[in-house]
Amino acid sequence: MQVFSYSRLDKFQRCPAAFYNSYVLDRREPPTEPLVLGGAVHAVIEAALNASRNDEGFFRALSKAVAAVAPLQVDPGEIFDLAYRPEVLGMVGAGGRIEEHFQMPLDPEDPFGPEIQGYLDFWADTGQEILLIDWKTNRKAYSPPDTHQLGLYAGWLSNNTGKPVRGKLVFLRLGEVREHLYTPGDGIASARRWALETATDIRERLYALQNGGDPGELFPAAPGDACTYCGWAGNCTGAEIVIPETVSSPPEAERVAREILRLEATLGALKEQLRGYVERHGPVVVDSREFRLSPSRYWKWPQEALKNAVAAMEKEGIDPLQVLSLTSAGLKKLGWSEEKCRNLGANLAETVQFRCVSAKK
């Protein structure tokens, strides 16, 4: 194995077993909803930029076409909402390069050493520097230096242009942009060093594998956050699920937490597969339980309808304040601070829920 991509190196670091399944056994990874959705959004953006089209009708039609051929069911409306963004529309007709492939050695002095390749979502020469954009559909934003992806891409651009590279991560779901100015001494050298060390580690393990090494020891499973996006989450450990009587130590707590992430990812994949079957063939009965598509009906109240409802309450002698309330979503739209809410007489209530959230760095 000589040519690597950032995603291949990152997969190995997150979970060697997932890397082994995908790139050593060359097994086709089952698709996951986040990856399918991300690929669909990228396809729409790429086509729009190549065609220099920024009209809503084009984006909607393309979103439907991409959703129709996706390996998993994805909502064309969600694809449209993520792709038809000001951050994307502003780049239409900007004259940059779109989805350009690159490949370069990680150690120029070693002709047999590992190489890195990838596809640049968008880049353009602005004169004094290079603009590099990577579209993201993540639900949580992070800064470019938090990973080495843009550092590797910037290294190739810097080598070919001799200019600093302003890398931007555009989080389409959040409408947020994070950027970093890459130079050989800031982000580029460290990314290349990480890639070379990781690729070398992989090649040494592959050599050991060819000489009779145990795959389970060389490429062990590492249940955790990566399970959320991994198609192998259901069968990577090969171990029985053990539920302890109590969780009494930090290592045991971490092991249980990792197993929960793996099982939740597996459950999500199973539900997606069964939903597809039910959509095509109808309900599935298991003993006294039934899996079926159950419509959920609710009323949507546009602004004019809400005004009419308030007027009807007042006409019927009902105080609207006994029925209506300010929700968290409503307060977010108002942009009111906690201090303002308190000054208006509101009380801040709090409940405690057990859930898994993004860890603060």
Distance (Å, whole) CA 37 – CA 74: 6
**pTM of the entire predicted model:** 0.70
Choose among 176, 174, 158, 69: nearest CA to 120: 158
Identify the pLDDT of residue 344.
86
Q: What's the angle, vertex CA 132, arms to CA 128 and CA 137, rounded to 5?
A: 155
Identify the pLDDT of residue 297.
83
Distance (Å, whole) CA 264 – CA 247: 19
For residue 115, the SS3 value is strand
Distance (Å, whole) CA 223 – CA 256: 10
**17-36 per-position pLDDT tens digit:** 889 988 998 888 777 788 89
Distance (Å, whole) CA 80 – CA 131: 25
For the chain, give me the number of helices (H) and strands (E)?
Answer: 13, 8
Choose among 195, 226, 194: nearest CA to 19: 226
Please name each of the domains of the chain with its CATH number.
3-206 (3.90.320), 303-343 (no CATH)
Identify the pLDDT of residue 324.
82
**174-226 per-position pLDDT tens digit:** 989 999 999 999 999 999 999 999 999 999 999 999 999 999 899 988 877 77
pLDDT < 50 stretches in the chain = none
Q: What's the angle, vertex CA 357, arms to CA 88 and CA 240, rounded to 5?
A: 115
Strands 165-171 and 176-182, bridge-based pairing: antiparallel
